[in-house]
Amino acid sequence: MNFKDKKVLVMGLGTLGGGIAAAKWFVRQGARVTVTDTRPEKNLAASVRALGGAAKKITFIFGEHREENFKENDVIVVNPAVPRESRYLAIAKKNRKLLVNDARVFFDVVKNPVIAVTGTRGKTTTTNWIAHFLKVKNGNVVAAGNSSDVALLDLADKLNDKKEPVVVELSSWQLELLPGARRAPDIAVITNLHPDHLNRYHGIKAYALAKANIFRGQKRSQKLILNGDSPWTEFFLRLRPKSSIFFFSLRQLPKNRNGIFLKEGVIFFRFGGVSAPVVAKEAVSSVAGKGEHNVANFMAAALAAHLAGVPWSAIARAAGKLPQIRYREEIVVQKKNFTVVNDSTATSPDAVIAAIRRFKSRGDLILITGGTDKNLDFEQLAEEIKKTLPPEDVFLLNGSATRKLVTELKKMKYFNEQKPQLFENLEDILREIKSLYAIPHTLTSRIILFSPGAASFEKFKNEFDRGEKFDGYAKKVFRQK
């Protein structure tokens, strides 16, 4: 696709980098770029500075969107905060304008083999672990997209070797416009599906349909990897993917399904009705300590890498050296008698449940949770907390999701006479924990788990900003150098 001299409208400059990367990329393509953002100019001064020399070639409209811009420009670049129901997008569609986002453009311009990963939980871990396995065969492999520091459009400009595989993580928002792209992922992975982002989608089915866009344009020669243990897999199969389908499962797969499964601690690969052990128990055990959910992530990543040409023997050898993903159950302070875990990217209740189950057997667990609601249900998390933790070991960061969780816990008579331990900032929570539990002088082994189970925008820019701040507070309070 050639954007030279095209009139391009970037909708939403933002402060988190996505709009900046898009605007700079289209300027590099020779497009005539206009940026529109409803926030006032003073709030976006840092973003304009981040554009560097590209800013001189951009027309800016701050404090409003103008209808005529959505009629006059050829291409509308939609950024993450834009609601799906925006009347301005409706105007653009009515006037037959091309709507794109970074993922749509990436798949239009990149010719490399692409492995794409989506899902509610585990997609970042799976993406990075696929890249880890691919490096065994292909050397330097880049993981990009969504939560990565590598923007998709920046990566698109840097790919010189067209044979070099690329691994990208795609959010449901990025997938919304993917069906219009010229190509689809060569290997698509859906890790799982749980209720999430219901502040954007009218129900989980609409959310699932957005995720399904990852395979909508695939051909028979391309591959789709689904979670054999997820109840939503049947929903995806009813959409009749055209690609070759493989499954991963923590249980034995039905005989008519190709893929990998776990049996007595060993991973087996089945293809064409023939099963064979491919990853021994010792290698699987090195992952099992990270929790059952990470065994599933490992299996999804291993299957994708193998379908991309990496031998099972190389995957098994690399299993013991899996990279730790930042802010995902990441140990940030480790002392003799206490450990602090940063799980800031746990933005839904099911992620907190997985973290609790992973760490509850490693010492006395202290949970820090709470944040901004995304129209999610907190009943199951409340049940897990009641079953696992006494009220004195649960510390709550105030927010709209936190209040929903407290309501569920009160229904279960969890607190009895005790009031919920509610705080306005993370540093105060950590100082209170240090004082109450005599850390670091306690003789009891304790795990301090920060797993919010909610979005972050009431108090932070995003979950990565939240994670970075938690790291700083934890190291400051517990004097970790």
Nearest by Cα to 21 from 115, 103, 127: 103
Nearest by Cα to 372 from 406, 343, 408, 401: 401
CATH topology of domain 7-100: Rossmann fold (3.40.50)
Rounded to whole angstroms, the Cα distance separating 104 from 81 reads 17
Q: In the beta sheet, which residues pair with residue 366?
A: 448
C-alpha distances out from residue 13 to 54, 55, 58, 116, Å? 13, 12, 12, 25
SS3 93: helix
* Residue at token pair 């590099």: 28
Per CATH, domain 330-477 is 3.90.190.20: yes
Query: Domain limits of the chain?
Result: 7-100, 103-321, 330-477
Rounded to whole angstroms, the Cα distance separating 190 from 184 reads 14
Which pLDDT does position 285 carry in this prediction? 95
Length of the chain as a residue count: 481
Which pLDDT does position 142 carry in this prediction? 83
Which pLDDT does position 162 carry in this prediction? 80
Nearest by Cα to 191 from 94, 30, 291, 301: 301
In which element (H, E) is residue 28 found? Answer: helix 18-28
**pLDDT 10s digit of each residue in the chain, 481 long?**
789 999 999 999 988 788 999 999 999 999 999 999 999 999 999 999 999 999 999 999 999 999 999 999 999 999 887 888 999 999 999 999 999 999 999 999 999 999 999 999 999 999 999 999 999 888 888 888 876 677 898 888 888 778 889 999 999 999 999 999 999 999 999 999 999 999 899 999 999 999 999 999 999 999 999 999 999 999 999 999 999 999 999 999 999 999 999 999 999 999 999 999 999 999 999 999 999 999 999 999 999 999 999 999 999 999 999 999 999 999 999 988 899 999 999 999 999 999 999 999 888 999 999 999 999 999 999 999 999 999 999 999 999 999 999 999 999 999 988 899 999 999 999 999 999 998 777 778 899 999 999 999 889 989 999 999 999 999 999 975 5
Which pLDDT does position 480 carry in this prediction? 54
Which pLDDT does position 305 carry in this prediction? 98
CA angle 170, 405, 331 (to 5 degrees): 55
C-alpha distances out from residue 312 to 86, 299, 303, Å? 47, 11, 9
| Tokens describing residue 390 | 């006494």
Residues 6+ positions from 470 with CB-CB distance below 8 Å:
332, 342, 344, 426, 450
Rounded to whole angstroms, the Cα distance separating 467 from 426 reads 11
Which pLDDT does position 2 carry in this prediction? 86
Rounded to whole angstroms, the Cα distance separating 356 from 131 reads 27
This model's pTM is above 0.75:
yes
Which pLDDT does position 363 carry in this prediction? 81
> In CATH, which of 3.40.1190.10, 3.40.309.10, 1.10.260.40, 3.40.50.300 is domain 103-321?
3.40.1190.10
Contacts of 330-337 with C-beta under 8 Å, sequence gap 24+, read 332/470, 332/471, 332/474, 332/475, 332/480, 333/474, 333/475, 333/478, 333/480, 335/440, 335/478, 335/480, 336/440, 337/439, 337/440, 337/442, 337/443, 337/444, 337/445, 337/446
